Amino acid sequence: MQKEKIRYYAVLATTLDGFIAKEENQLSTTWTSKEDKKHLHQMEDESDVLLLASKSYQLAKEPLKNRNLIVLTTKVNSIKKENEKLSFINLQNTNLEKYIQEKNYKKVCVLGGRTAYNYCLKNNLLDDIYITIEPIIFGKGINAFNEEIAMQKYNLIFFKKLNTTGTILLHYSKK
């Protein structure tokens, strides 16, 4: 039997000028539309585990408390299993992909922030990317990625308008 491939997908919301936050350590929930929040919760529901960097976890841990979570942090040595649902992982001393295999997770939803997005991008893990574009401009801010890589090509799978305000959802899949 062929081993089922583990799917990693990033879910992120940006402004029309391409920013996921105005400043570091800021959650998107203050400026994203309710339709994007609904889409995000659906993506979370369909996932086996959510992957977050520690600052994003600190900001979102209350609404995410009943979900399977892997939190990236340098504050543990390798892996700290808080309970059946929640693990803290230090990427420097742990093989994340192997741990996800052992836990038998098949659908990994990468929620950010930049540490989580960058790690997955750098290690060529992102099979799919779901980008919501809100019709606003920050002028200055934080990009999802900040990683020196060779250019990567994706396929556009679908695009749709989520509301009358003009929020757009784009789904890309790796070429």
Could you give the CA distance from residue 153 to residue 175 in angstroms, rounded to a whole number? 6
**Gap between the Cα atoms of 137 and 106, Å rounded:** 36
120 counts as binding a copy of itself under rule CB under 8 A? no
Across the beta sheet with 69-72, what order do the strands follow?
A: 79-81, 86-89, 69-72, 49-53, 107-112, 7-15, 126-134, 168-174
DSSP string of 9-38, one letter each residue: EEEEEEETTS-SBSSTT--GGGTS-HHHHH
Check residue 153 for interaction with a copy of itself (CB under 8 A). yes
Size, binding site for a copy of itself by CB under 8 A: 39
**Of residues 38-77, those binding a copy of itself (CB under 8 A):** none
Q: Residue 172, interface with a copy of itself (CB under 8 A)?
A: yes
The DSSP call for residue 121 is H
**Residue 16 or 93: which CB sits closer to a copy of itself?**
16
- Pick the closer one to a copy of itself by CB: 60 or 144: 144
Residue of 121, 125, 128, 132 that binds a copy of itself (CB under 8 A):
121
> Nearest approach, Cβ of 60 to a copy of itself (angstroms)?
22
User: From the centroid of its chain, how far is CA 142?
Assistant: 15
Site membership for a copy of itself, residue 169 (CB under 8 A) = no
The smaller minimum CB distance to a copy of itself, of residues 89 and 121, is found at: 121
In contact, 16 and 134? CB cutoff 8 Å: yes
As measured in angstroms, the least distance from the Cβ of 30 to a copy of itself is 10
Q: Give residues in contact with a copy of itself (CB under 8 A).
A: 14, 16-19, 22, 31, 121-122, 129, 131, 133, 135-140, 143-149, 151-156, 159, 161, 165-168, 170, 172
